[in-house]
Amino acid sequence: MIKISLPDGSQREFPGPLTVAEVAASIGAGLAKAALGGRVGRGADAKLVDTSHLIQADTALAIVTEKDADGLDLIRHSTAHLLAYAVKDLFPEAQVTIGPVIDNGFYYDFSYKRPFTPEDLVAIEARMSALAKKDEKVERRVLPRDEAVAYFKSLGEHYKAEIIGSIPAGEDVSLYREGAFEDLCRGPHVPSTGKLKHFKLMKVAGAYWRGDHRNEMLQRIYGTAWASKDDLQAYLHMLEEAEKRDHRKLGRELDLFHLDEHSPGTVFWHPKGWAVWQVVEQYMRQVYRDNGYLEVKGPQILDKSLWEKTGHWQKYRENMFTTESEKRDYALKPMNCPGHILIYKQGIKSYRDLPLRFGEFGQCHRNEPTGGLHGIMRVRGFTQDDGHIFCTEDMILDECVAYTALLQKVYTDFGFTNILYKVATRPEQRIGADESWDKAEHALMESLRRSGCEFVISPGDGAFYGPKIEYTLKDALGREWQCGTMQVDFFMAERLGAEYVAESGERKTPVMLHRAIVGSLERFIGILIEQHAGALPAWLAPVQVVVTAITDSQADYVAEVVKTLKKQGVRVEADLRNEKITYKIREHSMQKVPFILVVGDKEKASGAVAVRARGNQDLGVMSLAEFQSKLASDITAKA
């Protein structure tokens, strides 16, 4: 007898070996029809398998359907094979290489004599749909390595033969067949092509074979696949919205910044973009002041010997920009931490000085690969709202509680109310005593509990020097952006010889808490632009108010209004161009200006303004004082 334990805690007995599909059928016809695969075993040892997998001993089993995350991966993996099947059907001379699952979809790389066109993608997607409707069974077989190499060579699939040839001799490999197409794959797969209904091909890009630029350039076809039509449509709609919100596009249209090949991976801020930067920086500077941080400023270039002591020279050297002067090697700092320790070490510190909180808007440089650069979201030169807290182990909890509350307030002010929390705990390879790790992990988790935050634990994902909290924002489109962090570090202060005099009189090493709220200001501003689709709230907008006249006779009054608002600290511009008022209103609306003030003879005579708010809202005529009050209220409330 074979005992199968199911997720609900029940057990079923069977007289002999049977497949996952047969177990599903014994539970119900509906489950048998919905089954895409199975997860056999318990916990970390559980294995995802095909529905045809034969169970020969007692085990735990979960039937995987489209409602499960594993089910979606099975759909996407199988759809990648369906793509390859369709390409081979339409273009027999094409060679297939690899086709993995990626976030929200899949891709497959092909070698073909000419570039695939947009028309080709349409034809391939149509053929995929036709093949899926045939509902062909997906079957697995196993061959010895050498036999598999010979088989794919006979088909002219030299890339597949090369992949299999890199597998150790004597091993077996698995192949999956659907209809006339057979592919090398570890699996598992959905039981038949009819399970693949909701997919779309997205684009073609170039990709070097095995990621090596010395090899042939292949053609990578990207696609997305989902469990339902609604899920697919929702994803495509999100992509459409994301394209409208793309910070690179809006950066050009709103004249905020540009990127230039004369300095790849760095940002050229235009006046309007720099105005946004200054608002964010000054806001965070006030956060420093209000929460006991002392602002410091470290140098950009530091000697190689310092980076050797911290370990960065050995472990991070290829990502650092270096230079040489007078036979000494230097590096542009990729992070601010060592500089803050050097500042801390100036003068003897007592336990009474702790916690000591340093903050810096520190410009850093990291030699990111060109292919990884993305607008202002991923750059080589960036500025962090970097903070380091030097404290004792007993202070970690209180500092983390205060920090989480502060971070939540900041994110709310910027328009983010959905925050995800993750605690990354001790890895196998680490430094420091377990007692210290216990304290640090407890402090991080307890700080989130006290803050009323639900969190997930990511076992073993902490740094070797300490655990951390990661704070991830969810934006208006549901996308996640990991921005804030709180890291406990038992390591760097000790390596650089930082100490304090304890109450007992002995010298001790402080714990160092690394924390950032917005992280890279460049990236955070990019996130803000996309979150608000360029329509930044009044307190953040580069131009808060435009004042425009109907005719030239109101020019003097426009100048008076502008002068009054400037005295209030408002970022305001006058528009006295000889254009129709409707044209000027439309143009400033396209620039997403929060308020447009229109003045004619009546407004000039009564000291009033006609107020138009963003979104084509006509707020009517009000006195200038009334408008000033409203604007001040919106700015103060971060509305």
- The answer to whether residues 300 and 596 touch, using CB atoms and an 8 Å cutoff, is no
Selecting among 384, 487, 591, 628, the annotated active-site residue is 384
386 annotated active-site:
yes
Selecting among 120, 386, 475, 575, the annotated active-site residue is 386
514 annotated active-site:
yes
Pairing between β-strand 2-5 and β-strand 59-64 as defined by DSSP bridges: parallel
- The answer to whether residues 581 and 573 touch, using CB atoms and an 8 Å cutoff, is no
Helices (H) and strands (E) in the chain, counts: 20, 35
Query: Angle CA(522)–CA(526)–CA(529) in degrees, nearest 5?
Result: 140
The secondary structure element, H or E, covering residue 177 is strand 172-178
Selecting among 333, 366, 380, 588, the annotated active-site residue is 366
User: Where do we find the tokens 């047969």?
Assistant: 22
312 annotated active-site:
no
Angle between helices 69-90 and 118-133 (to 10 degrees): 110
Selecting among 53, 189, 388, 515, the annotated active-site residue is 388
Q: Which two structure tokens, joined as six digits, stand for 344?
A: 């801390």
User: Where do we find the tokens 């952006």?
Assistant: 481
468 annotated active-site:
yes
- Among positive and negative, which fits the CA dihedral 269, 270, 274, 276? negative
Three state DSSP letters for 55-89: ECCCEEEEEECCCCHHHHHHHHHHHHHHHHHHHHH
- The answer to whether residues 184 and 152 touch, using CB atoms and an 8 Å cutoff, is yes
Q: Which of 614, 572, 620 is nearest to 590 (CA)?
A: 614
- The answer to whether residues 35 and 20 touch, using CB atoms and an 8 Å cutoff, is yes
Three state DSSP letters for 567-592: HCCCCEEEECCCCCHHHHHHHHHHCC
Selecting among 200, 426, 514, 588, the annotated active-site residue is 514
270 annotated active-site:
no
How far is Cα 572 from Cα 275, in angstroms, rounded to an integer? 12
The separation between CA 346 and the C-alpha centre of its own chain, rounded to angstroms, equals 38
Query: Helix, strand, or coil here: 432?
Result: coil
Query: Angle CA(120)–CA(225)–CA(63) in degrees, nearest 5?
Result: 145
Q: Which of 535, 545, 538, 637 is nearest to 598 (CA)?
A: 545
Residues contacting residue 50 through CB under 8 Å, at least 6 positions apart: 20, 37, 38, 138, 140, 187, 188, 189, 191
Pairing between β-strand 138-144 and β-strand 105-111 as defined by DSSP bridges: unpaired
Selecting among 53, 380, 468, 592, the annotated active-site residue is 468
Residues contacting residue 508 through CB under 8 Å, at least 6 positions apart: 392, 499, 500, 501, 502
Selecting among 70, 77, 200, 337, the annotated active-site residue is 337
Query: Angle CA(558)–CA(561)–CA(567) in degrees, nearest 5?
Result: 140
Positions annotated as catalytic residues are 337, 366, 384, 386, 388, 468, 514
